[in-house]
Amino acid sequence: MRLATLRTASPDGRLVVVSADGLRCLDVPGFPTLQAALDDWTGAAPRLAGLDRQLAAGEGEPLATGDLLAPLPRAWQWLDGSAFRSHGQLMEQLFGSPPPPPGRPLMYQGLSHRFLSATEDVVLPRTEDGIDFEGEFGVITDAVPMGVAPEEALGHIRLIVQINDWSLRVLAPVEMKTGFGWVQAKPACSAAPFAVTPDSLGEAWRDGRVHLPLTVDWNGQRFGAPQGGVMEFGFHDLIAHAASTRDLCAGTIIGSGTVSNPDYRDVGSTCIAERRGIEMLDEGSARTAYMQFGDRVRMECTLPDGRTLFGAIDQTVRSPRA
Each residue's pLDDT, cut to its tens digit, for the chain (322 residues) gives 999 999 999 999 999 999 999 999 999 999 999 999 999 999 999 999 999 999 999 999 999 989 999 999 999 999 999 999 998 888 787 767 777 788 889 999 999 999 999 999 999 999 999 999 999 999 999 999 999 999 999 999 999 999 999 999 999 888 887 878 888 999 999 999 999 999 999 999 999 999 999 999 999 999 999 999 999 999 999 999 999 999 999 999 999 999 999 999 999 999 999 999 999 889 988 999 999 999 999 999 999 999 999 999 999 999 999 7
DSSP strand E in the chain: where? 2-6, 14-18, 24-27, 61-62, 77-81, 107-109, 122-123, 131-132, 135-141, 157-164, 167-168, 190-191, 195-196, 205-206, 209-210, 214-218, 221-224, 252-255, 296-301, 313-318
**Assigned CATH topology for domain 77-318:** Fumarylacetoacetate hydrolase; domain 2 (3.90.850)
| Nearest CA-CA partner of 200 in 315, 29, 48 | 48
| Nearest CA-CA partner of 115 in 87, 138, 141, 84 | 138
Q: Helix 85-95 and helix 272-283: axis angle, to 10°?
A: 70
Domain ranges (residues) in the chain = 2-67, 77-318
Give the number of other Cβ atoms within 10 Å of residue 84's Cβ.
27
CA distance 98 to 75: 31
pLDDT for the residue numbered 93: 74
Q: What b/e sequence results for 230-259 when a residue is b if at least 16 CB atoms lie within 10 Å of its CB, and e otherwise?
A: bbbbbbbbbbbbbbeeeebbbbbbbbbbbb
Residue type, 293: F
CA distance 78 to 235: 14
